[in-house]
Amino acid sequence: MRLTIIQPCMGRRRGEPYIRTWQMEPLAPAVLAALTPADVAIRFHDDRMEPIPYDEPTDLVAITVETYTARRSYQIATEYRRRGVPVVMGGFHPTLVPEEAGQYAEAVVIGEAEGLWPQVIEDFRRNRLRSVYRSHTRPPLSGSTPDRSIFAGKNYLPIALVESGRGCRLGCEFCSIQTVFRQSCTFRPVAEVVAEIKRLGRRVIFFVDDNIVADPERARELLRALVPLRIRWIGQAAISAAFDGELLQLLVESGCQGLLIGLESLDPRTLERMGKGFATGAGYYRAALANLRRHGIRIYATFVLGYEEDTVGTLEEALAFAGQERFYLAAFNHITPFPGTPLYRRLAEEGRLLHHRWWLDGEYRYGMLPFAPRNIPPGELEERCVAARRRFFGLPSMIRRSLDFGVNSSSFSMWLNFFVINGLMRREVLQRRRYPLGDENFSGALLRVGEGAACGDREPHRSGHPREWVSE
Ligand code: B12
Ligand code: SF4
């Protein structure tokens, strides 16, 4: 049997390369490859960096789908399904809106692949593929390591993504993570994470865990185990970690170079409404950031704009705060109502969604507000978010922040790094603006299940050669 795994891009502008900072090794396809029985031949295509060879013979296509990549995923599925090849979709978006994804795929996997994927393959081989596969409980994350052999020959950014745990126990109103994982966390055994890093042999690691300090005890265990590896790593964490002295010390000793922290807002009313009431605003943040600074940890701070109390002043305040705190990187995004989240439901009930299924709407572009904020016209907030990014990544701000020798530029090479990374982000501020969702070159309508070529009723090809691709 031959399986093709696809990582879609968000969209494509005619004649333009894809956004470079998003071209990292994608873990979901590597996890799927690892869970696939050894006698299945696998091809992997990354739509962000190469054209997809739709005519290459294959028996089954698996696409990993996020909300921003949904439209593009349905286009890709249409191409394969026009050729009679059945498609399976999984990932965040199909888990949030399975009934929608099910219109464009023969099968939808709701939830995590561990525990379900081998069954999908088995059912396909027996010609009894079901339209929906759902995991009712969270599977353990032990015993499987992503199969990165599928990345061979691709020009990814030089950073290895590693997952040590999945999910978050907090419940922010706007967040897909809490909706998908139902406010729970699962962790891989620390020994398996360490073994994977050793095998990888890479010096720079990005832990993709949503909150690497979600369970402080387990975080300590992981960090202690990382110390002897002498790696440099970045990750994502809740700011509460900054008040745990032992954890901070272990972060430094284990090689933590920087943390992405969702500050979201400086307004306590907004933080309360979001479900982040534990952070009580600018004063709380300043104290926490001072602790992180003392330990030399660089910060990528993210802010979201457009909440109920937000005004133009809120954005200006966030921008000024980011400058004063000399963040290594910062993001100023409008809040996004992802399907299935409490925020989406609330805005829909209040009649404030401007584009209902904005991720499928041909008029909608990255950066546009899909809802009406209370105090700022949507177009103005979009422009102001872009302007804030341009100012933050503008030369005067970059120079000022680079002169932070205690943290951002602790050595000459880190000073150069600062300019490379900030320069990349600066270049992309305008490139990202109004980026299309879906490929502008795609023509025709999206093919729905039951329309056009019949899929899934063909006998799967059996090569008999483990992992070997036999052309027809
Ligand atoms: C690392 C990361 C990135 C990296 C990209 C890494 C890469 N792939 O190249 C960077 C920093 C570039 C990035 C960018 C963005 N990201 Co991001 N990212 C993540 C993060 C933290 C980890 C992803 C990961 O590797 N997970 C580990 C893998 C193994 O898990 P998984 O993808 O969920 O896959 C499992 C299941 O979902 C399922 N599955 C997945 N696909 C498939 C397919 C099939 C067929 C099957 C059966 C199962 C299946 O099985 C897997 C194993 O169980 C996630 C959060 C998260 N917890 O996943 C956010 C996340 C995916 N990102 C998100 C967003 C919004 C973005 C941006 C839009 C942010 C922005 N405004 O700029 C961009 C968009 C980039 C794009 N899509 O092109 C959202 C998506 C929400 C949604 N509803 O879709 C997430 C969930 C974060 C969040 N807080 O909500 N991101
Ligand atoms: S802390 Fe982060 S990952 Fe957790 S629910 Fe809030 S936004 Fe989502």
Distance 178 CA to ligand 2 centre (A): 7
Q: How many residues does the chain have?
A: 472
Ligand with smallest separation from the Cα of 173: 2
Distance 43 CA to ligand 2 centre (A): 34
Q: Looking at the CA of residue 174, tell me the nearest atom of ligand 2.
A: 7
Residue whose token pair is 């990932």: 91
Q: Taking the chain (472 residues) in consecutive chunks of 10 residues, what is each chunk's mean pLDDT? A: 98 92 97 98 97 98 98 98 97 98 98 97 98 94 96 96 95 95 96 98 96 95 98 96 96 98 96 90 94 97 97 97 98 98 97 96 96 97 98 98 96 97 96 95 92 58 46 33
Residue 105 structure tokens: 């795929």
pLDDT at 155: 94
Domains of the chain: 2-140 (3.40.50.280), 148-432 (3.80.30.20)
pLDDT at 280: 86
User: What is the CB-side half-sphere exposure of residue 442 using CA atoms within 13 A?
Assistant: 21
Distance 130 CA to ligand 2 centre (A): 33
CA distances from 440 to 306, 378, 443, 444 (A): 29, 24, 8, 11
pLDDT at 325: 98
Print the SS3 string covering the chain.
CEEEEEECCCEECCCCCCCHHHCCCCHHHHHHHHHCCCCCEEEEEECCCCCCCCCCCCCEEEEECCCCCHHHHHHHHHHHHHCCCCEEEECHHHHHCHHHHCCCCCEEEECCCCCCHHHHHHHHHCCCCCCEEECCCCCCCCCCCCCHHHHCCCCCCCCEEECCEEECCCCCCCCHHHHHHCCCEEECCHHHHHHHHHHHCCCEEEECCCCCCCCHHHHHHHHHHHHHHCCEEEEECCHHHHHCHHHHHHHHHCCEEEEEEEEECCCHHHHHHHCCCCCCCHHHHHHHHHHHHHCCCEEEEEEEECCCCCCHHHHHHHHHHHHHCCCCEEEEEECCCCCCCHHHHHHHHCCCECCCCCCCCCCCECCCCCECCCCCCHHHHHHHHHHHHHHHCCHHHHHHHHCCCCCCCCCHHHHHHHHHHHHHHHHHHHHHCCCECEECCCCCCCCCCCCCCCCCCCCCCCCCCCCCCCCC
Distance 27 CA to ligand 1 centre (A): 9
- Among 391, 293, 307, residue whose Cα is nearest residue 347: 307
* Rounded Cα–Cα distance for residues 222 and 234 (Å): 14
pLDDT at 470: 44
pLDDT at 455: 62
44 forms beta bridges with 5
Distance 165 CA to ligand 1 centre (A): 14
Distance 274 CA to ligand 2 centre (A): 10
Residue whose token pair is 């110390």: 227
Spatial contact of 297 and 414, defined as CB atoms under 8 Å apart: no
CB atoms within 10 A of CB 382: 20
- Among 126, 3, 1, residue whose Cα is nearest residue 61: 3
* Dihedral sign, Cα of residue 234, residue 239, residue 242, residue 248: negative
Q: First-to-last CA distance in the chain?
A: 12
pTM, entire model: 0.96
pLDDT at 136: 87
Pocket of ligand 1 contains residue 264 by CB under 6 Å: no
pLDDT at 130: 98
Strands 438-439 and 185-187: unpaired
* Dihedral sign, Cα of residue 456, residue 461, residue 466, residue 467: negative
CB atoms within 10 A of CB 378: 17
Could you tell which of 96, 175, 181 is best to mutate to test the pocket of ligand 2, judged by most ligand atoms within 8 Å of the CB?
Answer: 175
Distance 32 CA to ligand 1 centre (A): 14
Pocket of ligand 1 contains residue 161 by CB under 6 Å: yes
Close Cβ partners of 313 (under 8 Å, ≥ 6 residues apart) = none
Pocket of ligand 2 contains residue 261 by CB under 6 Å: no
Pocket of ligand 2 contains residue 178 by CB under 6 Å: yes
Could you tell which of 92, 96, 166, 168 is best to mutate to test the pocket of ligand 2, judged by most ligand atoms within 8 Å of the CB?
Answer: 168
Distance 237 CA to ligand 2 centre (A): 9
Pocket of ligand 2 contains residue 262 by CB under 6 Å: yes
* Rounded Cα–Cα distance for residues 465 and 258 (Å): 45
Close Cβ partners of 122 (under 8 Å, ≥ 6 residues apart) = none
Pocket of ligand 2 contains residue 6 by CB under 6 Å: no
Pocket of ligand 1 contains residue 88 by CB under 6 Å: yes
pLDDT at 450: 85
Pocket of ligand 2 contains residue 175 by CB under 6 Å: yes
Phi, psi (degrees; rounded to nearest 5) at 100 = -75, -50
